[in-house]
Amino acid sequence: MVQDVITFYSDEGYRESLRAACEAFGRGGLVVFPTETVYGVGARADMPAAVDRLRRVKQRADEQPFTVHIGRRDDVDRFVPKVSAMARRLIRRGWPGPITILFPVNAVGDAPIVQELGTDVASALYHEGLVGLRCPDDDRARDLLNEAGGPVVAASANVAGQPAPRNVAEVLRTLEGKVDVVLDGGPTRLSVPSTIVEFNGTGYRVLRPGVYDEASLRRLTALNLLFVCTGNTCRSPMAAALCGQVLAERVGGQADALAARGVAVRSCGVFAAGGAPASAEAVEVMQRRGLDVSGHRSQPLSPELVNQADHIFVMTQSHWDSVVRSMPSAKDRCRLLCDGEVDDPIGGPVERYAQCAAQLEAGLRERLKEVEI
């Protein structure tokens, strides 16, 4: 076999390198390419002979599936008809990146890629109701995948049982003469295999540790809700406490049930001084509702809090202005909690706080309908 090893890490000849690799894919060939973790070897999934050849070269058992590699994270919707909210958060925060995600697909025929290419391609993409997807954090790999002319399945560029290769020299030790094109992108950046995560109906499990550990995955999959008022001593801490109560009702549990689903509820204030307790009136009104905010301590609005939040709920238009001014990219994630502004009860009697809490709860029950856990 004539095997081309093509330089793939300089501007000179870059487009020609891509073209040669894509032409090899189109002929049913096997292409080795770099990712941020290890080198991969891939084939067009819509070419059964190419997939069979990839399996023989890898010496992989027939029942062991390959991972679909995609060049754009939004391409997940072509392969998975229904992506859970938690998986969607991991995609948004972790892709492109060193995470392989296994998605459950109960109705393979509903997947747009199957409707587009026909049921014959399904066996190369899906296995026992699952499809594994990876969107690598390497611009060259994503360019290749986007221009391949069809879906690409791939695995590490080594014979089964051998170490995953981190450079072309390691690739050629086991695959020389067995593939059509080798794109030499130099040493891989991370040199550690991707983390493999499998989602189910309510959460996920880690099948293979990699770049990300359990704590990192919890951060990446968390649902972060942020409530913003002025001083962070009454309206926003009451809203955060009520939010936890409303969401717990939805999942049929207590606060620990929300934590198990990766839900984090926070509050802050646009003019808050750090460390102030909730007002005595707010504490009393929440106690009437079986909620405890006595341990609350105020914190100021910060870019970090805004950046972490999936949904930001504010009390007034001026709060919205402050959030968006601090981080313009938050515009689409930030909205008023209630249809009308929530007036500050500070300085008023306890009953004014009670009225405020009732308004907050009404707003929450409407807004949280839009929040997927």
Catalytic residue among 229, 243, 268, 334: 229
Place of tokens 């014959």: 120
Report strand pairing: 334-336 vs 311-314: parallel
Q: How far apart are CA 6 and CA 181, in angstroms?
A: 7
Judge whether 266 counts as a catalytic residue: no
Catalytic residue among 166, 235, 261, 333: 235
Token output for 116:
């587009």
Judge whether 338 counts as a catalytic residue: no
Sign of the CA dihedral running 125, 127, 131, 136: negative
Interacting residues of 295 by C-beta distance below 8 A, sequence separation 6+? none
Judge whether 229 counts as a catalytic residue: yes
Asked whether 258 and 248 are in contact (CB, 8 A), the reply is yes
Residues annotated catalytic, as ranges: 229, 235, 344
